[in-house]
Amino acid sequence: MSLLKRLSESPDERPDAVRVAGSALSGAELLRCAAAVADRVHGLERVAVEATPTMETVVGVVGALLAGVAVVPVPADAGAMERRHMFADSGVAALLAARGSDVAPGGPPVVPVDLAQRSDRTWPEPEPERAAVILYTSGTTGAPKGVVVSRRSIAACLDGLADAWAWTPDDLLVHGLPLFHVHGLVLGVLGPLRHGSRLDHVGRPQPRRYAAAGGTLYFGVPTVWSRVAADPDSARALRGARLLVSGSAALPAAVFADLRELTGHRIVERYGMTETLITVSARADGARRPGTVGTPLPGVRTRLADERGGPVPADGEAMGELLVAGPTLFSGYLNRPDADAASTAGDGWFRTGDVATIGPDGVHRIVGRASTDLIKSGGYRIGAGEVEDALLAHPGVREAAVIGVPDPDLGQRVTAYVVADGVTGPELVEFVARNLAVHKRPRAVHLLDALPRNALGKVQKKLLG
């Protein structure tokens, strides 16, 4: 089966089947534009693509995939050092960019993507195990690693999400997410092209653009949904949608509640990583509870492990590292057998590095990263997310991040970084102590103007402390 099944087999003839930042193409015209790119890159192993929120990015990615060439998306704001590393590490033979783009010198040869070019040539579907994308992700140390994701893994993920979300050709997907991550590119572009739904990428994910799009299915990260909730008129305009989906970071319970009030929707949360794609999600026909990310997709298995690799009970309370196995997993890190070995727990299990709980009903709750979000203080194991939720319940708190800071007596000291109005640090400590066990209260609260975040809105905790 073709990775881009609907696009390849029955392309949508509607003139606005795919819209990106105001530029629109029918599915049939997108296929012909992409085929012209495929003609030029066929036979190469890997190409980079300037991942801007443009139709040229979509055409370039689709063209490479049609030709069986692996795509390395390059963030539009990547610095010179990042670009050099990605080009050298991946060994890309060319860089696809919009014709006339101002591309920095020193990279691979540029192949211009011209939306005026068309081709009617077809190419045989590559083997399912062939690499589709190589996504670069930063760890806690060293240069970013290339995550090799196969065509088979992407197909399994997208089909699992179609099952969970009742995703059909009748949908219009709306989002404005970056096209160099799993969320925006794999789910947000390849998903519609596989399932036949229309796509409206609004350029920037601004509340009023979401409101004006008239979609049935919306993707956003918590920062986007927080801004939508803060714009009541835009939020109410989403009442006609079928499903609102949040991912890439934890959605604050207060935002969940605000969106439910304004839009009438209980937002769907899901969980995944670059290395695993999406593995767990709430379902369109199932319960959706704030702070939880649902149950495994078809074919995906999960379990919890303690620090020695032993089993942790699925009782909804015990915390352990989340291990994942199944068809959505990546093929490995490019040129990094050491990282491959460190990330596996044997028998096909991938170590996510995330701490979670699993309830008796199979519903997962992500506590956070084992390295930053599981705090060991005074003999207690404290989830940073629980303390963050308690802080965010205060009406004066807009943002909160909690980490463990080394402490000679406690081992780690619960420390909060907060963006707030009209409240002091001691008042917030007392507020948390009234709502959680006293040992979970922050020992220190630092008031900031803003929390450091990446392009997907995730708080960069390694920049705190």
Tens digit of each residue's pLDDT (9 = 90 or more) over 405-457: 888 777 789 999 999 999 999 999 999 988 887 888 999 999 999 999 876 67
Q: Is the model's pLDDT at 82 over the cut of 60?
A: yes
Is the CB of residue 200 less than 8 Å from the CB of residue 162?
no
> Which one is predicted more confidently, 326 or 370?
326
Mean pLDDT of 137-151: 80
With residues binned 3-state (H G I as helix, E B as strand, rest as coil), the percentages for the chain, rounded to 5, are 30, 30, 40
Contact (CB, 8 A) for 56 and 42: no
Q: Which of 204, 226, 180, 194 is nearest to 71 (CA)?
A: 180
**pLDDT tens-digit map of 240-274:** 999 999 998 888 888 999 999 999 999 999 999 99
pLDDT of residue 139: 53
Instruction: Choose between 155 and 454: higher pLDDT.
Output: 155
How buried is residue 82: exposed, middle or buried, by Cβ count under 10 Å (0-12/13-18/19+)?
middle
Q: Is the pLDDT of residue 379 over 90?
A: no
Residue 138: pLDDT band (50, 70, 90) is: low
Q: Which position has the higher pLDDT, 249 or 43?
A: 43
What's the pLDDT score for residue 140? 47
C-alpha dist (Å) from residue 157 to 182, 273, 328, 411, 426: 11, 12, 5, 40, 46
Please enumerate in sequence order all residues whose Cβ is within 8 A of that of 337, keeping only pairs 6 or more positions apart, or say none: none
Structure tokens at 356: 């979670």
Fold adopted by 5-188: Rossmann fold (3.40.50)
Lowest mean pLDDT, pick from 74-78, 109-113, 332-336: 74-78
- The closest of 274, 280, 288, 269 to 324, measured between CA atoms, is 280
Average pLDDT estimate for 315-321: 93
pLDDT band at 165 (very low <50, low <70, confident <90, very high): very high
Judge contact between 41 and 111, C-beta under 8 A.
yes
The pLDDT value recorded for residue 455 is: 67
Q: What is the pLDDT of residue 427?
A: 94
Lowest mean pLDDT among 160-164, 172-176, 188-192, 439-443: 439-443
Average pLDDT over residues 65-76: 95
**For residue range 1-12, what is the model confidence (pLDDT) as tens digits?**
799 999 999 999
Which pTM value belongs to this model? Answer: 0.85
Instruction: Please determine, for residue 41, whether its predicted confidence score (pLDDT) is greater than 50.
Output: yes
Q: How confident is the model at residue 105 (pLDDT cuts 50, 70, 90)?
A: confident
| Strands in 163-253 per DSSP E | 172-175, 198-201, 217-220, 243-246
Q: Which region among 103-117, 330-344, 351-365 has the lowest average model confidence (pLDDT)?
A: 103-117
Return the CATH number of the domain spanning residue range 374-463: 3.30.300.30
Can you give the pLDDT at residue 142?
Answer: 61
Can you give the residue ranges of every domain in the chain? 5-188, 374-463
User: Quick one: average pLDDT of 271-285?
Assistant: 96
